[in-house]
Chain A
Amino acid sequence: MFTIGKVLFKFTDIVILLAACMLTIQLYSIFWLDNNQPGEADTLLVQFADNSPTEYSLSEAQTIRVEGKIGSSLIEIKQGKARFIHSSCRNQFCVFHGWLSVAGDSTACLPNRISISLKAASSDYDAIAGSQ
């Protein structure tokens, strides 16, 4: 039991204060720490228009040519990652997006109506909103 200035602190107060601080730290660790890291991606899904997606394994390096609405797109798979390397669209957003490496990553070529996304064997995410 001690006082700071005119304010009285008792043993019980210290216990309550410590409990409150621990609760706060606990809450940060529960809700802020990223406990579930995105799963390792192992499959590439390539989809044209409304067709059901075609699956490709990420383990073998290959280049896939997909015929889209306005032309063909080239998709490269290498070292567990995937990217558009060529597209016949005008803006080339899909190519500039670069590598997709995490499960849930996705990009699309809207003019050509082709979208690709990575899928993990066990993914906790349906999708990840990009920050680019």
Chain B
Amino acid sequence: MKLHFTTTHLDHRIALLAALAITIHIIESAFPSPLPGIKPGLANVVTLFTFIKYGWQTALQVSLLRVIISSLILGTFLSPTFLLSLSGALLSLLSLMLIQLPFYATSLRPYQPSAIGYALVASVTHMSGQFLVAWYFFIPHPGLFKLLPIFITFAVILGIVSGIITQLLINQINSGSTTTAVTQDRQ
């Protein structure tokens, strides 16, 4: 029996973006981190870009593929690292959706945040999600909360950085077309 798949353009796009995110994730995991739990999170630039450019459905698939496949490659599948990664990714995507929700209304659409705003939300909630899971499941000690302000500080700084990168990426992609990043975000 011969299996035959028909793939759509959307599938190709998701595969391409996920491959990009996985590559960045794996390269990033090779770098040492100044503090356990703090990573630049460059793989999230891809998720963010996908979210802004193609919407949350695509971003969710890219994000899940990235988390699962890169953990399979790194050998951390179903380990604590994987759970932290998954919870962070899901919570940040969920909050991105919630933040975007009011801006579906046509009257509010011009006020939709740009990449910086989304990146900040994503990065802070990603960090908080990971932190809460780490605290609840792995280190249920109140002393862990002393680290939370440091983590959130780094999340804000790195969120701004990844927002700038995302915005530059969007500018690059959009250059040549007349529409701006802001009006093109929902297709």
* A10 and B113 form a contact (CB under 8 A): yes
Give the size category of B's interface with A: 20 to 34
Give B44 Cβ to nearest chain A Cβ, in Å.
16
In the complex, residue of chain B having the shortest beta-carbon distance to the beta carbon of A17: B120
In the complex, residue of chain B having the shortest beta-carbon distance to the beta carbon of A16: B117
> Which residue of A6, A16, A27, A32 is within 8 Å of B113 (Cβ)?
A16
* B116 and A7 form a contact (CB under 8 A): yes
Query: Please, how many angstroms separate the alpha-carbon atoms of A111 and B114 in the complex?
Result: 69
Given the known inter-chain contacts A11-B111, A12-B112, A13-B114, please indicate yes or no for A20 contacting B149, CB distance below 8 A.
no
Given the known inter-chain contacts A6-B168, A6-B171, A32-B146, please indicate yes or no for A13 contacting B117, CB distance below 8 A.
yes
Query: Please, how many angstroms separate the alpha-carbon atoms of A129 and B152 in the complex?
Result: 28
* A8 and B182 form a contact (CB under 8 A): yes
In the complex, residue of chain A having the shortest beta-carbon distance to the beta carbon of B146: A31
Give A4 Cβ to nearest chain B Cβ, in Å.
9
Which A residues fall within an 8 A CB radius of B?
Answer: 6-13, 15-17, 20-21, 23-24, 27-28, 31-32
Does B29 have its Cβ within 8 Å of any Cβ on chain A? no
> Which residue of B114, B152, B171 is within 8 Å of A23 (Cβ)?
B152
* B167 and A20 form a contact (CB under 8 A): no
Give B43 Cβ to nearest chain A Cβ, in Å.
20
Give A23 Cβ to nearest chain B Cβ, in Å.
7
Query: Please, how many angstroms separate the alpha-carbon atoms of A80 and B124 in the complex?
Result: 47
- Interface of B: prevailing SS: helix
| Contact residues in B for A12 (Cβ distance below 8 Å) | 111-114, 117
Extra inter-chain contacts (8) besides given A16-B99, A23-B152, A27-B152, CB under 8 Å: A6-B167, A8-B167, A10-B182, A12-B111, A15-B117, A23-B124, A27-B148, A31-B145
Does B94 have its Cβ within 8 Å of any Cβ on chain A? no
Contact with A along B147-166 (1 / 0, CB 8 A): 01100110010011001100
* A20 and B159 form a contact (CB under 8 A): yes
| Contact residues in A for B159 (Cβ distance below 8 Å) | 20
Given the known inter-chain contacts A6-B168, A10-B114, please indicate yes or no for A24 contacting B156, CB distance below 8 A.
yes
Considering residues A6, A13, A23, A27, which has the most beta carbons from chain B within 10 angstroms of its beta carbon? A13
Does B121 have its Cβ within 8 Å of any Cβ on chain A? yes
* A31 and B113 form a contact (CB under 8 A): no
7 interchain pairs, CB-CB under 8 A:
A7-B167, A8-B115, A10-B182, A20-B124, A21-B156, A31-B148, A32-B146
Query: Please, how many angstroms separate the alpha-carbon atoms of A24 and B113 in the complex?
Result: 20
In the complex, residue of chain B having the shortest beta-carbon distance to the beta carbon of A26: B149
Query: Which are the 10 A-B pairs with shortest beta-carbon distances?
Result: A13-B117, A12-B113, A16-B117, A27-B149, A28-B149, A8-B114, A13-B116, A7-B167, A20-B156, A31-B145
Does B68 have its Cβ within 8 Å of any Cβ on chain A? no
| Contact residues in B for A9 (Cβ distance below 8 Å) | 114, 116
Considering residues B99, B117, B159, B182, which has the most beta carbons from chain A within 10 angstroms of its beta carbon? B117
* A8 and B181 form a contact (CB under 8 A): yes
